[in-house]
């Protein structure tokens, strides 16, 4: 029985859980799209002369700015790097002092270094994106200022 559990847990975590997560995300987006479609159809039934483009613009979700996306990458870079450093340090501490009741502190070190690598990758992605998208972010900011002035 323990052998069966030892086989099923990694399969569930590695296969079933990601598939369920993707299915849930796709289902959520489909529901949002269906709700927007129902709203547009109901509005067209009540007023066929309505400007559909303006209605769609009002009910569609607001797009995040490039700056917001880059700041989110920086946030994830900091979080994963700090957790990685912490886990690596904890693993080294366990290795040096041989405490904690764990037989293999190398697992902490490996997981910590992996998270640290992911954090560094996010940081590199942030820096490269910031350089490449500098002009686009400037245009977005000017458009937001112009839109605010119109209102």
Whether the predicted pLDDT of 121 surpasses 80: yes
Whether the predicted pLDDT of 78 surpasses 90: yes
- Please indicate, yes or no, whether the overall pTM of this predicted structure exceeds 0.75: no
Whether the predicted pLDDT of 118 surpasses 80: yes
Q: What is the pLDDT of residue 85?
A: 95
Task: Note the helical H segments in 47-105.
Answer: 52-59, 66-97
Alpha-carbon span 126 to 92, nearest angstrom: 29
Alpha-carbon span 58 to 41, nearest angstrom: 15
The arithmetic mean of pLDDT across residues 95-103, rounded, is 70
Place of tokens 């489909």: 30
Residues 6+ apart with CB under 8 A from 123: 74, 77, 81
Alpha-carbon span 31 to 22, nearest angstrom: 14
């Amino acid at each position: 029985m323990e052998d069966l559990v030892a086989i099923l847990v990694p399969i569930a975590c590695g296969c079933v859980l990601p598939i369920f997560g993707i299915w849930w995300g796709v289902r959520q987006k489909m529901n949002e799209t269906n709700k927007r479609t129902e709203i547009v159809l109901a509005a067209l039934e009540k007023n066929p002369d309505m400007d559909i483009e303006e209605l769609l613009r009002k009910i569609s979700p607001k797009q995040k700015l490039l700056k917001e996306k880059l700041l989110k990458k920086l946030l994830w870079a900091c979080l994963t790097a700090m957790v990685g450093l912490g886990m690596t340090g904890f693993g080294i501490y366990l290795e040096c002092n041989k405490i904690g009741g764990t037989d293999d502190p190398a697992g902490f070190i490996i997981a910590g270094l992996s998270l640290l690598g992911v954090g560094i990758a996010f940081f590199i992605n942030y820096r490269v994106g910031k350089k490449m998208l500098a002009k686009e972010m400037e245009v977005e900011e000017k458009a937001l200022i112009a839109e605010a002035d119109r209102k």
